[in-house]
Structure formats: C-alpha cells, structure tokens
Amino acid sequence: MIAIKRTMALTAIPLVLAGCVSSAQYAGKEAGFSTVSAKVGGVTSKQTVWVQNQQQAQATSSRVKAFLGRNKVLDAETAVQVALINNKGLQAAYADLGDSAADAWQSTMLLNPTVSIGFSGIGAPELEAFRTIEGAITTNLLALMTKKRDIEIADTRFRQAQLNAAVRTLQLAAETRRAWINAVAAWENVGQLQRAQAAADAASELAEKLGETGAMTKGGQAREHVFVAELAGETAKARLTARLAKEELTRLMGLWGTDVDFQVPNSLPALPRSLAKRDAIEAEALRNRIDLQVARLELEATARSYGLTEATRYVTDLEILAGFEAEREVEDGKKKWETTAAGELEFSIPIFDTGKARMRKAELGYMRAANQLAEKAVNVRSEARSAYEAYRSNYDIARHYRNNVVPLRTKVEEESLLTYNGMITNTFELLTDTRDKINSILLSVNAKRDFWLADANLAPAVYGGGSSAAAAETEIASVSESGGGAH
C-alpha cells in the first residue's frame, strides 16, 4: 500500500497543474461567437447568428421569410441582414471558429498518464495465485514543462479565429451590399434603354413614312431601322446582365427555391447632398482593421512558438516513469509483502541533431510574420486613402453628369425638336441628338452606381472585409432590363 501511495502522489502533479487552467471560455457551444457578433454589430448595425441545431435553423428560416414578406421590394439593409443570418458559407466559417475553440480547450488538458500492471510468479498450490505484481505509470514530462506556453499559443490562435470569423462576416456584408447596388443599377439601365427603345421605334416608323413620301432616302431609313435593331440587342443584353446580377445577390443571401421571389428597386438612391468627412481615415483603418489585428496575433503566436522551439531545443522526448513492485513470499509459514519503488528518466541526447536547424526555421518564421505585418500596415493605409479618393471622385463625377451633362443633352434635344417642328432642322439631326441623350443618361446611371459602390467600399477599407480596389473595378454591363417597376 505504501508504494501505491507514492505512485498516486507522482501522478497527482499533472492533475494539480491542469486544475490551474480555466477552460470555460473554450468549452461552450458558441465559444468566442459573442466577440464576433459584437464586432460585426458595431460596424454594420446588423445581427448575425451561429446555427448549430434544427431548432435554430427553423427559427432562422422563419426570420428570413418574415424579412422577405415585409419587404417585397428589397432594400440594401434588408439584403445584408438576410445574408448575415442565412448564408451557409458564413456558417461554415463559424464552424472553423468552433474548431479553434475545441483546440484551445484541448490544450488546457494534459496527456493522460499511461498505466501498466504485470503479474508473474504463479506458484505451487499452497501459494497464492500471484507471487509478483509489477506496475508502472508514465507521463510526458516535456508536456508538463511547456504546458503554459502551449495554452498561450492555442489561446492566440483562438483569438485569431474569432477575428477571422468577423472579417468573413464583414466581407459577406460588403459583397452583399455591392451585389445589391449592381443589381439595382443594372435594372435602372434596363429602364432607360426601354424608354429609349420606345423613342427609337417611333423614329423608325417616322422614317418609314417619310420614305414612302420620298422625303427620306432608303439609306436614311436603313440607318434608323438598324439603330432600333441595335438598341433592341443592347436592351436584351442589359436584361440578361440585370438577371445575372440579381442571381448573384440571391446566392449571397443564401436563398433557395421559392424564396428567390423578391424584387429590387428600379433605380438607385439619389446622390447625397454632401460627402462624409473622413480626414483621419488612415488612422481609423490602422486602429480598426480586423485583418491587421489578425496579422498582429500571427506575429504574437509565432513569437510564442519561437520560445517553445527554444525550450525543446535540447530535449525532444522526455518521459518520467514512476512504478512500484510488490512481491508476496512465504517464510516460516508466514506470508508477507515486500514492496520497492522505482523511477526512470528517459530522453534523447543531442549528439547529431542539436536543434539548430529548428531554431533557424523559428527565427525565419518570426521574421516572415513581422514583415507580413509591416506590409499589411502599409497596404491598409494605402487602401484607406484609395477608398476615400474613389468615394470623393466618383461623387464629383456623378454630380457632374447629373447637374451638367444630362441637363445639357436634354436642352439640346428640346431645341432640336423645336427647330424640327419649325422645319429649320432635319430628322437626322433630331434623331442624332436623341441618341446622344440616351448615351449621356446611361453614363449618368453608371456614374451614380460607381459612387454607391465606392461608398460601400469605405467600411471595408476602415474595418476590413474586402478589397477596395477589386470592388471598385467591379462593373456590371452598362445596359440592362425592365423599366418602370421593381424587379
């Protein structure tokens, strides 16, 4: 019994150490998700959920149907909210957060000790069945030595996973908002083209009647007819573009089956009266960009791993073995137990592999993470400046088309109509002015779309969740479908 008590004392060491570490923050089903939800809510003013069972899935589905039922014509805010609670790819990203929490939870637990017991010495019938009992309990001493650092590294990775989940959520919100803008702009182009189509049809009929009276040559009639035909082709192309843009929005919102029966407005909102002032946008971005925080944590984790590598440089495998042995003997007709305690320490001697190569790899890993963080900081400042420059410039361009180009084209067309009615100008000049006005209106619609896209890119530039440059280059074809109603 004495030997057994000694063994229990040795094996209690890991249990005491393990008791010093709290694993509650990693053990919950939604471990770390409250941080993600808070960060996303602060930026987007929207709620996101982590669906993990059938009841939650049904509740989410009911919420989506309620959103779509209340908003037959879907605005941008509703589209983003539906995407944040219904996109299945986002749920997969949250599962990655759960994996990281489980890994951090696991890191707080020590390796289970290995217990071995052997029996030997089956003797004569007058003796007891077992003459010698041998036992051993082994545990990994190196795991005990580096446990604190292992937990710190796992916790850093867990915090990284939280931030990565937040970045993925913000990215989805930005993508959904851009998809909504592109879809609405595409349908607005369609509406403009359909109105132009009606005017072109009237001009074509007029050309045909003038041709019958001999007032217009066959070549002139052909020019008007081909314009109508080309415009019909452009309208069909625009209609296809608008439908595809709506499908992209549908995918981001995670809609399925009959849920896709929603409409978007037939025109984008008017330009705001004034621009938002972001004089310190670079400082804002450096302070708030979540992907930059992820890079900082990567450097922290690499530094901790470097320390861990240094700790294990000379001792790669180290185990402590504690054991006991009990032997029962018969002497002078009396039975007695004799016990002995034993211990073994086993480790590798660094004769050939001194760990220098692993140390060098750790140093290079740290240098790599440090340079990646520095590069990220440079890029963040540049992206913030670019996003605000695009926001300001696209606003000025859109206002220029709205306040100058389109009114002038409208004035030219009105004057051409007056002179045409007074028989001062001919039909060709009137139709040419009408075509030019159509082109200017389409350019104005696209300029307004580019401004709202730049506006949607401001938040990702400050908080993370998307590449402003890539988003700014996103373009839907200039022409699309439908007109007066929502789509």
Q: pTM for the full model?
A: 0.75
**What's the confidence (pLDDT) of residue 112?**
73
For residues 291 and 375, the answer to whether their CB atoms sit within 8 Å is: no
**What's the confidence (pLDDT) of residue 419?**
65
**What's the confidence (pLDDT) of residue 349?**
61
Between the CA of residue 244 and those of 77, 86, 358, what are the distances in Å?
21, 20, 52
pLDDT at residue 477 greater than cutoff 50: no
For residues 441 and 408, the answer to whether their CB atoms sit within 8 Å is: no
Encode pLDDT of 34-43 as tens digits. Answer: 888 888 988 8
Average pLDDT over residues 279-292: 88
**What's the confidence (pLDDT) of residue 16?**
42
Which is nearest to 164 in space by CA: 82, 105, 254, 94?
94
Most confident among 86-95, 273-282, 321-330, 473-482 (mean pLDDT): 86-95
Task: Sort strands 334-347 and 132-140 into parallel, antiparallel or unpaired.
Answer: unpaired
CA 431-437-443 angle, 5° bins: 145
pLDDT at residue 232 greater than cutoff 70: yes
Edge-to-edge strand list for the sheet holding 318-331? 114-120, 132-140, 318-331, 334-347
Encode pLDDT of 121-172 as tens digits. Answer: 555 555 455 555 566 666 666 666 667 777 888 888 888 888 889 999 999 9
Beta strands in 47-188 (DSSP E): 114-120, 132-140
**What's the confidence (pLDDT) of residue 184?**
96
**What's the confidence (pLDDT) of residue 22?**
60
Encode pLDDT of 360-394 as tens digits. Answer: 887 888 888 888 888 888 999 999 999 999 999 99
* Sign of the C-alpha dihedral computed for residues 282, 284, 288 and 290 taken in this order: negative
Least confident of 58-72, 174-188, 408-422: 408-422
Average pLDDT over residues 388-414: 89
**What's the confidence (pLDDT) of residue 174?**
94
pLDDT at residue 245 greater than cutoff 70: yes
Chain mean pLDDT for the chain: 76
Phi, psi of 440 (to 5 degrees): -65, -40
pLDDT at residue 188 greater than cutoff 60: yes
